[in-house]
Amino acid sequence: MRWATLTFGKHAGKTLPEIILSDADWVFWAVKKSAFKGRLANEAAKLVESARAIKIPKRNPKRWQVEYSYDDTGGFCGFQFVKADVPSPCGRRSIRRLPYLDFSCIRRKAYDKRGCRNLLRDFRCHYFGDNTRLTKRRCEQFFSNKKNFLRAVSS
């Protein structure tokens, strides 16, 4: 898929896949505020839908879940993959589990800059490797590949 480039704001010159993998919270905010028009609005809606249902990149993904952890104030701490049949640990942090990765997990608070950084750090590590740079090409390829998502989003 050929992605449109933003022509306004602090992310001018970038495509939506680049932006969501550097500032996911901003993308969700901008979609909620209807900041995009025309082709960008369509791309943003599809991107957000995809970002809410990312497949677990493991063999036999149905045996795994994404475990999201939050601090006492509701701030997002990070995520990890855990076997679905292992019970959640009891502890100080709030835990939530889903059978897929949902980027909107950072939207529990109005704005969670640290939580967004934690999400993107864990995403890069689990999906691309610790030392992999998320280039424009990698970002666009990831969000153009329907196999990375649970719901088939029409192009």
107: Cβ contacts below 8 Å, ≥ 6 apart: 25, 28
The alpha helices in 4-112, defined as continuous H runs, are 16-20, 24-32, 38-51
Q: How far, in Å, CA of 94 to CA of 123, rounded?
A: 20
What length is written for the chain?
155
Q: What is the pLDDT of residues 12-35, one digit of tens each?
A: 999 999 999 999 989 999 999 999
70: Cβ contacts below 8 Å, ≥ 6 apart: 76, 77, 93, 94, 95, 96, 108
List the beta bridge partners of residue 95.
Answer: 69
Q: What is the pLDDT of residues 62-78, one digit of tens each?
A: 999 999 999 888 889 99
pTM, entire model: 0.89
Q: How would residue 151 be classed by pLDDT, with cut points 50, 70 and 90?
A: confident
Q: How far, in Å, CA of 52 to CA of 30, rounded?
A: 16
Q: How far, in Å, CA of 95 to CA of 31, rounded?
A: 27
pLDDT of residue 153: 52
